[in-house]
Amino acid sequence: MGTLSIVATPIGNLEDITLRALRTLKECDVIYAEDTRVISKLLARYEIKKPLQRLDAATEAKKADEVIGRLEAGEHVAFVSDAGTPGISDPGSRLVAAVREQLPGATIEAIPGASALTAALSIAGLGSDGFTFLGFLPHKKGRQTALKGIVASELPVVLYESPHRILKLLEELGALGVARITIARELTKMHEEIVSGTVVEAQAHFAAHPDAVRGEFVVIIEP
């Protein structure tokens, strides 16, 4: 029976990859990737040449069957998402669940590494009493309920957000009376930036620096 390695990759800076992740990507038989073009840049940087297959959110169920076939044949399969840890607001969970259910004898191993979630929390300077991670909020149905839950939370709430909706999110949080937030933008990249303060201060920051409404965001709402 084969092995499925779930491999974390960098969230920006290509140096943020573990020695074990590199060895796994070098030693496996095939790499399944959320987007083969994205992972090709990482593989080129580390001179790794491997057969690549695509497995994204739309094809996860179908491709899981293919992966199961390979594991039955004794292959070592690695899975990587576009950035960070697979299964964290990324494909991977359904693949793991399918393999666990249909092939209990297969080894599923985590190759841990970067995640925007833990990177942001590590420099937010919040207490260590726990947190709630919600990933991306729903865009329409369920959004208001989720926002109200965030405001009522006694723990910090961590969200992922895109540049298209970050200003809208700030407006919504401000209207619901949220006081303090930390926004981690473009972590590990050239334009990495932390904005910490009141919602009004964050809005003023983005109004003064429209260029900063770009890239990838983690938003931490303080209780």
Nearer to ligand SAM, 87 or 223 (CB): 87
Q: How far apart are CA 193 and CA 197, in angstroms?
A: 13
Q: In whole angstroms, how far apart are CA 165 and each of 187, 208, 214?
A: 18, 17, 10
Cβ distance to ligand SAM smaller for residue 72 or 167: 167
Could you say which residues in the range 162-201 bind ligand SAM, by CB under 6 A? 162, 184-189
Give the residue with the Cβ less far from ligand SAM, 215 or 223: 215
For ligand SAM, the closer CB: 95 or 218: 218
Q: Reduced to 3 states, what is the DSSP secondary structure of residue 129?
A: coil
Contact segment (CB under 6 A) with ligand SAM among 61-69, 101-109, 139-147, 211-219 equals 211-219
Q: 157-161 and 217-221: which strand pairing?
A: antiparallel
| Under 8 Å between Cβ of 95 and 22 | no
CB-neighbour burial class of residue 35 (10 A; exposed 0-12, middle 13-18, buried 19+): middle
x/- letters, 113..152, toward ligand SAM (CB under 6 A): --xxx-----------------------------------
Question: Contact with ligand SAM (CB under 6 A): which of 31, 32, 124, 161?
Answer: 161
Q: Is 176 helix (H, G, I), strand (E, B) or coil?
A: coil
| Closest CA relative to residue 42, chosen from 67, 11, 4, 5 | 11
Which of 12, 91, 156, 223 contacts ligand SAM by CB under 6 A?
12
Asked whether position 90 contacts ligand SAM by CB under 6 A, the answer is: yes
- For residue 137, which of 89, 192, 73 has the smallest C-alpha distance? 89
Residue closer to ligand SAM (CB basis): 72 or 186: 186
Q: Which H or E run contains 122?
A: helix 116-122
* Site of interaction with ligand SAM (CB under 6 A): 11-12, 81, 83-85, 88-90, 115-117, 160-162, 184-189, 216-218
